[in-house]
Structure 1
C-alpha cells in the first residue's frame, strides 16, 4: 500500500532540483522510482494532480511537477526548449495587491497618530480646567462645607480659605449657641479625626506640600481648636476649649509614639485618649517586632502586672504634671498583626 505524505513545496527546493538536472550530462538512462502517494498542499488546500503528474521519490529526493506546483503558488511556469530553461514568473497582481495594502496601512497609521494627538490635546485642556478649578478657593470652600459640614452632631456654619497652594489659612466656624452640648460631648479623638480628614482634603485640592494653618472658633469669636500642618509633616491639633474643664490634648500629643517595654518586648503608643468624666486614660500599645504573641504567652502574671503598674504610673504622672487628674489608666497591648494580647487597668491611687 502506498504511504501518504503532505509536502509543502517552496521555490528554492524546486530550483535546487532543476538546477542539479541542468548541470547533468544529456543522456538517456533507465531509473527506478518510488511512488508513495505524495500530495502537494498550498495554504491548506490540496493541489489537484493528474495521473502523469504524481510526485515520486528517487534516491531520497522528492520530485514534484514544477508547473503544477508553480500554478498552485499563483506563478507562471514556462519551458524554453531552445535553452532548455524553466522560467518561473510571479503574479504581478499579487504584488500590486500587497502594495495597495501597505499603502492603506500607512494611511491608517497616520490617522491613528493624528487621533492620538487630538486626544492628548483634549486631555491637556481638561487638566488645565481641573487645575483652574483646584485653585479656585471659593469652589473648594463650597465642596469642603458639603463634605465636612458636620462634626459628629455639631453643625459647621462656615469653612473659609485664604491664601494659595503654598500657604492657606483655614477658618472654621461653629455656632455653640445651638450646639454647645454636642460640642462638649465630642471626644478629642473625634475632633482630631475630623480635622485630619479636612486638612488631607485641602492638600489634595491644592498641593501635598501646602502649609495649612487653621482654627475652629465659635460665632462669638472664641477659639476652640488650633491646627497646623507643614506640607507632609505631622499634623498638630490643639484643643483650646472643649468646655470640659481640663485640656489633656497637650499631654496626649506628647505621649503618642512613646516607647515602653514589657520584659524586653518593645511597644509604642498608638492611639490615646482621655475620658474626663471618668478621669480615665485609654492607651493602645502596638508591638514593634514580630512573633510577639508567642513571647507574650511565655510571660507570667507577675511579670505583666509589674510592667503594667510601672507603665501606668508613668503615663498618669505625665497627665498630672499638666494638672489633668487621672483616676486610672487602661492599657491595651496588641501584636504586630493588631491582635489584642491583653487589656489591663492601672489604678492611680
Structure 2
C-alpha cells in the first residue's frame, strides 16, 4: 500500500492578496487589506537536484504544483544556489544576494609570508644594483683617468717628435720649413709652413717624397695614427697642398690651385721679350692658375729661324723663369708661327 506522502494530495491553501475596496461611503479614501483565497495545490513528492545532489527540505518548504506550474520557496532555492535570502518585512521584499567567500586564515598567512619574502628579495636586488652602479661609476672614472694620463703622455711625446722633425726636415730640399704637430696618438694633424716660392722650387716627386718621409717618421712613434696635413704659405697662410698618409706612410697629395694675375704675367713677358734677341718681336697668350700655366708664344717663322740654337733655348728658359716667379708649379709652352700657327718649338717645366 502506497504511503500517503507519495500520493498526489490536493490541499486547500488560503492565499493572501491585496484588494482595493471602494464604495459610496468611502468615496474620499482608499485602503488595502489582506484577504484569503482558497487554491488547489498538489504535493507530489517533488525532488530538487542541484549539480547532481538532492537538496533537502522539510514539510514547511516542500515544493508543490499549481495549475501545471511547480512552486518552491525562494529561501530553499537560494540555499541550493548558495545565495543569501532575506525577508524585508517593512517593505515586504525578498532580498537575494551573493554570499561572501570566506578566506582560510592559513591562506592569508601564506600569502603574507610570500609577500614578505618577495619584498626582501627585491630589497636585496636593489642593494646589489646600487653596488653595481657604484662599481661602474668608479670604473668609468678610472678609465677616464687612464685616458687623461695617456693623452698627457701622448701630448708630451708629440712635442718631442715635433722638435725632432723640425731638426730633420727644416732645411731638407732647402725648404726652410716650420713643422707643427697636433692631436693625439690616434689622429695627428701636420702643418708645414714655408714660402710658396721655396715649395714650388721642389719638384713634384720630391714634394711627395718629402711628405712621405715626414709621415713615416710619425708612424714610427705612433704606428696606428691617422695622419692628415697641410702645406701653407708662411707669408700669408694660404694653403698650398693638403695631404693624407695611410698606415704605410703612402701620401695622397692634393695640390690647391690659386689664381694668377694672367694680365700682369702677360705684361711681364711682353716687356722682357720685346725685341730682346735679334730685334725679334714675340707676342704671348697665357692661361691657367698657380698649379699650371700654359703659354703660347707667337713669332714670325723667319725671325725664329734667324735665332741661334742657344738663343732659342734661352728664350724658352727665360719664359719659364718669369712664370715660375709668379709661384706657378708647372709651365707648358708652345712657340707658334705667326703666319700659319704651326708649332715651331715646345717646352715645359
Q: TM-score, normalised by structure 2?
A: 0.30
Structure number with greater Rg is 2
Q: TM-score, normalised by structure 1?
A: 0.30
